[in-house]
Amino acid sequence: MISRKTGVRTLVSLPVLALLTQLAFAETPAEHGSGTMRDYQAGGGSPLAAVPMHQDINPKAPKMTEAEFEKAKRIYFERCAGCHGVLRKGATGKPLTPDITLDKGMDYLKVFIKYGSAGGMPNWGTSGVLNDAEVDLMARYVQQTPPAPPEYGLKDMEASWKVIVPVDKRPTKKMNNLNLENLFSVTLRDAGEIALIDGDTKKIVSILNTGYAVHISRMSASGRYLFVIGRDAKINLIDLWMEKPDTVAEIKVGMEARSVESSKAKGYEDKYAIAGTYWPPQAVIMDGDTLKPRKIVPTRGMTVDSQEYHPEPRVAAIVASHYNPEFFLNVKETGMVYSVDYRDLKNLRIKMIEAAPFLHDGGFESSHRYFMDAANASNKIAVIDTKEGKLEKLVEVGKTPHPGRGANFVDPQFGPVWATGHLGDETISLIGTDPKKHPDNAWKVVRTLKGLGGGSLFLKTHPKSKNLWVDTTLNPEANISQSVAVYDVNNLDKGYELIPIGEWSGIKEGPKRVVQPEYNKAGDEVWFSVWNGKDQESAIVVVDDKTRKLKAVIRDKRLVTPTGKFNVFNTQHDVY
């Protein structure tokens, strides 16, 4: 049953769920303590008797073999750690430490893992990503003591670093006929690849091997180099000037990561790149044309609110200042934003700006001065002045904001605004961003739109568009997750139009989750990923932005689990 008011699916009635949970812990000495019952349950000896067992330090943890534990650990780090943390202390997702999960019990955990929630938890079981046995496996795993992965330092990075094409062997000018400014880098999540797609012809230029589950693609300031980072912390540096664009350098900067960025300040174009890792909790500055690691920036430290030590403050979104030679890093769990001045790596200057936990994603408002920074757990947007290097304002928004990079446009009543959707509710918050001409509206929510429901990941518009497109990818209701809402920015009171992107794809089977609107350079097309399972057909749907009608569908067996799409020009110039 799904509540239209909240968008939350009630999977099992509360009395039944309570009964299931009680039954899971209703063991008494009479039931399991007697010799007769033990003999009956054992059945003459367990087939696992000779199998090496994972030995947890908590005696209450469910039994797991070493092989089961290793399989579950791999699934967790690939699928779950991004939201719940490597040490399972929580961030966008809730904490999953044994003091919590053991009390929840197996039945509760299996239901939650299988069916997900409107708050952003994917329906891992019903979507086909995990089978019932794997759901059971993960329910047992999250009740174990979290294993700590090894550290990863400069020597480890240097051992993984490869320069495939030296700088002096690369082209001195563009050697292909591609319209690079309208090229798209498309994440093929579960294939460990990206697709370079020509935005003019809608044809795949090439498929390149990358790290696992690429999270983002970023452009160098010149528009020549494409930086791609996987969740396994592998970075590919791709030279778009080559006759056929390809990887010219690569490095693995940790065990898990999400973010990479290139220097943009005048005089430092393409000079440096920086990557932030989820594990270990740190960032590394590299040479922008080779990825040679230069400087590690640690992030373990105290939280902004309670001033308590946190062992895993991961680096989430990173932006490069357009005003100063600085990178701004979201240190997720501590709620700090680090301003890292890269002028002198030997005498690195870091300013710690207090914001709010847990900092996740965000982007610039239209002037590119203010970093609009989502603090998921606090339901706030931190406004960071990248020119002055300080917190401008904390703005209260909806539940669990997740803007991607956000969307900038001019509200007909309130002037320039930046928008965010939310994982935890159906609202879209519009924040005023013009302190000079509209000071009364600056740094406050000036308008709240009603969307399709909770589970929104991204929204997007374009300076040449009159539309605001909002996905609802993680909503548990299929007709919502397979559609998008579009608003006329000049008539926001009209509400949204529902666009059935999943249906337009022509794909008949699968969850068909629609994710991440992305514009072409001209701003007259918007692209959507129709994201199915690894063994199912996926697609990219291209919509005419002016008419809101279907323009093209890109269907190719090589498009395995397409998610993020990054137009070269828009990514290079922070157009969103």
What are the residue numbers of the active site? Answer: 80, 83-84, 121, 360, 402
Coil, strand, or helix at residue 206?
A: strand
Q: Give the whole-angstrom CA distance, residue 44 versus residue 245.
A: 63
Contact between 27 and 34 (Cβ < 8 Å): no
Q: Give the whole-angstrom CA distance, residue 160 versus residue 467.
A: 44
Coil, strand, or helix at residue 547?
A: coil
Q: Give the whole-angstrom CA distance, residue 386 versus residue 339.
A: 8
- Nearest CA to 264 out of 298, 314, 295, 221 is that of 221
Q: Give the whole-angstrom CA distance, residue 352 versus residue 338.
A: 5
- Nearest CA to 78 out of 317, 256, 236, 251 is that of 256
Long-range interactions of 446-450: CB distance < 8 A, separation 24+: 446/411, 446/413, 446/414, 446/417, 447/411, 447/413, 447/414, 447/417, 447/492, 448/398, 449/487, 449/492, 449/495, 449/496, 450/426, 450/495, 450/496
Q: Give the whole-angstrom CA distance, residue 131 versus residue 70.
A: 17
Contact between 459 and 470 (Cβ < 8 Å): yes
Beta bridge partners of 469: 460, 486
